[in-house]
Amino acid sequence: MSQVEVLCFGGAVSIHRSEERPFARCVNYYSVNDPLLLVNPGASRALRTGVWGMGSGSTSGSGLAAMVDPLTEPEFVFLTPRGNDPIVDHGLLGPTYIDALRWEGRRYQSLYLPLWHPFVRMVMMQTQCMGQFTSESVNELIVKRIIVPFIMFVMAVNAWVKNSVILPIVLFFVMIWEAIREGIRIWKGDDIYEQVLLQPTTTSSTDTPGKVKVEKETNATN
């Protein structure tokens, strides 16, 4: 479930990310004149207050963590109506939601589909036109035994490069930047800590007799 992305367009109930549903991404799209806002108090409250929630449900205090894994996408996205009709704007393929749907499709293609996917799709469409037998042969010999293993190999290499090369390099440069900032701070003499004033301590009355007794014993010995 942590790899599932949830997209809702004008839903009667908005979906949120939680510990029971740890979605990778959760976005609720609503047209501001969608009639279902009248029966969805969470979405209507978010529209009124401007508090649209966070896609992750949590934030991180580390700037590095926010850079490597940004979790700042809102749970609600409110769209300007294009049809100026609540019924028309509520439709998934209507003029309002269709732009958001196309944008999500382009985002999915840019993130998860390889660059050669259009070429592979064209080859598949051409092979389907060559007949059932030829299509099955090409699919078995080329697609399943060559193209699919090659794509899986490239995806594994990309994941390895991301986790073993890119992320350590980013961490290394961030550490260098933090060291430079610390050196500049020390050179300027800036103090990032607040000074603590220590209160003078007084000798309690219970310690005084003991001290007098020790002095008396010393004098008696002399």
Please provide the average confidence, as pLDDT, over all residues in the chain. 75
- What pLDDT does residue 62 have? 38
Question: Is 105 or 220 the better-scoring residue by pLDDT?
Answer: 105
- What pLDDT does residue 97 have? 93
pLDDT range class, residue 5, cuts 50, 70, 90: confident
Burial 104-139 (b: 16+ CB within 10 A, else e): eeeeeeeeeeeeeeeebeeeeeebeeeeeeebeebb
- What pLDDT does residue 200 have? 64
